[in-house]
Amino acid sequence: MKFATLITCMDGRIQRPLNDYVREYFDAPNIDTLAWPGACGPISRLQNPRVIEYVDRGLDISFNLHASCGMAIAGHHDCAGNPVNKAQQCTEVELIVQRFRESYGEDKVIGLWVNDQWTVERIC
């Protein structure tokens, strides 16, 4: 059973398009999803110990028990949990991607954006 990992917001409008994109990109049928309200904001700031613990625990299971082959970090249009503009969210996604690339490898981590058509775009 091949796995990949997705870190994103809990917003119901983005789950299906992101799951489809990440499954296809990593050629993995099972996507472990770490969903936190407005994920990119709090995860990029590293200030909330609960979100740090949640992400660390999820990544430990996904990579060490499921042998995940890679991960995507995604922001999205009209995010109620992280109500900042697209440019700010993309900066947050890039920051998280850079941080995880140092631990997981350059080609294992990608950054995504779900636009106002609920279509997934690659950021980095």
Question: Cβ of residue 38: shortest distance to Zn ion, in angstroms?
Answer: 5
Q: Site for Zn ion (CB under 5 A): which residue of 4, 5, 6, 11?
A: 11
E strand residue ranges, the chain:
3-8, 30-35, 71-76, 109-114, 120-122
Which residues, other chains included, contact 73 with Cβ-Cβ below 8 Å and sequence gap of 6+? Answer: 7, 8, 39, 40, 43, 93, 96, 97, 100, 109, 110, 111, 112
Using the minimum distance from each CB to Zn ion, give the nearer residue, 11 or 32: 11
Per-residue interface string for the shown chain with Zn ion, residues 55-94, x marking contact by CB under 5 A: ------------------------x-x-------------
Which parts of this chain interact with Zn ion (CB under 5 A)? 9, 11, 79, 81
